Homo-oligomer: A and B are copies of this chain.
């Protein structure tokens, strides 16, 4: 129901400038994911959008109206806090039902139904009567999510909502959130995550933040395939993109050459040779770290569980059409 526009938003805590002028438009019904290094200002930006934190300068618009001064409750948002912020004196049920009870016109049964539905979805049905302090970390996090989704807001703000969940649950919850979003076309979602998979799969668009500024906004594929800067290239994708400089880059007529681990082919006639210094075996894939005279070792992703003993040499080539070339300033050459 709400489109959100940020115009040159700044935020400082005392002398510390945290958000340094962000312009951003989140479209109505869009699923926007914020990513960026720890401490870059994601949570702060989310809190500014929620209205919990005062904006130092700039304008925040919801549906075209300035909301700088609007209280959080008037903005029609639901939020999952990075620190959970559960009500310590309420049971899980009460925590989740609290917002609903206060809205007028919700019958007791309707509330119970909604809470239980959310609890089922998050697999915390059996903990409804417990207090937060009697829960495990992941359970607390689920309560925090549950509290947000039982309500019916125009905007959802999620701050790393799945960070403490196990892989299976994380996938399940991720899918539930995606469904939630699909089911409610009007609802705008803003989602902070460090998980590449979450970002790539959930986002309509991803906003990469760096040090209080927007680095690039785009669909996941755009960011993956056409990063606007070395920073974005390095940040999106796991394992991190390999960057090569010096001779090897010059051969491709650029200052820095970026090649993702998955775009490296091990070939006997590979153009680069490296020494295996470390192998990581993930079951489905193996990451091989090659020493190639670069600042950091070069990662090559191989399918399946491979054994390349440390110290052995390997020749690799980048897929020519998947390399990323960057100039001195870190901007892509296309």
A interface list, Cβ under 8 A from B: 13, 16, 35-39, 42-44, 82-83, 134-139, 142, 159-160, 163-171, 194-197, 200-201, 220-221, 224-225, 234-240, 260-262, 280-285, 287, 301, 303-305
Contacts and interface: CB of A to CB of B under 8 A. Distances in A.
Contacts of A282: 196-197, 200-201
A311 to B, nearest CB: 16
Given A164-B163, A168-B235, A237-B283, A303 B138 contact: no
Given A196-B282, A224-B305, A36 B166 contact: yes
A207 to B, nearest CB: 14
Contacts of A260: 283-284
Given A38-B142, A163-B163, A260-B283, 14 more contacts: A37-B166, A38-B138, A38-B165, A38-B169, A42-B136, A44-B136, A82-B137, A83-B137, A160-B163, A165-B194, A196-B282, A200-B283, A262-B285, A262-B304
Q: What 10 A-B pairs have minimum CB-CB distances, sorted nearest first?
A: A38-B138, A224-B283, A262-B284, A163-B163, A82-B137, A201-B280, A39-B136, A166-B194, A200-B282, A37-B166
A213 to B, nearest CB: 16
A25 B123 CA distance: 31
Nearest to A37: B166
Nearest to A18: B136
Contacts of A137: 38, 43, 82-83, 159-160
Chain B CB within 10 A, most for which of A164, A169, A304: A164
A211 to B, nearest CB: 12
